[in-house]
Structure 1
């Protein structure tokens, strides 16, 4: 029997406006579970950045998983960028979860990680959001630098 925790995360108001609202994510995850006969153990709501796993709700969930091994065997989220925007940290967390008997899975970007070629897709799904964050940070830096040179107040 499959039992899952549903992980729902947003980090900005903009994400809520573009269809990544917590309610929307929860509905999609619950629908997936219903279609696939997966029992929902718990829904975890998070509103922190995915640049690291230093997130209050995530840390609480991880502690509970360690304390109550065997109560669930899946953590579901809509897309891999809801799980992490840091590829290195994500690989370490996936490894830890699998050691604890938990399979992380993005319902809209499903991957069977027992198939070696799917690891390339996982790399793409994890790296793309990190690259996007890095590009946005650079654009912000250069925009602020330019504004300062033009005498504008920040």
Structure 2
């Protein structure tokens, strides 16, 4: 990864992590917040931070996705934002539980990427194993359209 790209990712991670704190949602509650909602409440879980990182990267060169990771030793999946500046470049991760961006391939506890979320053709989309899914999870559809409606960017 080029130094300017690494520095850019580190700035996004530090900025967003400095504006809200990580807080696991209570059992039975799983609302996905837009960045504006995250910053207004001052706290969010991994989905909320992943959406904020993704929003900060939107409009920049590369492929940016919200990824649901299945990890050894974790009882629940974990959401992060992945980014790849070009098709042949390594996939990098912005993760609320990490102080710095890291390469997805360096994650030794990764079992699999369950699915990825993002944007395609002006709307919310989902992929599994690189294949576009016919159905996009409703929580992402809802969060995506709220994000587009508010016009607030995470940057």
Normalising by the smaller structure, the TM-score range is under 0.3
Larger proportion of strand: 2
What TM-score does the superposition give when structure 2 sets the normalisation length? 0.26
Larger proportion of helix: 1
What TM-score does the superposition give when structure 1 sets the normalisation length? 0.26
Larger radius of gyration: 1
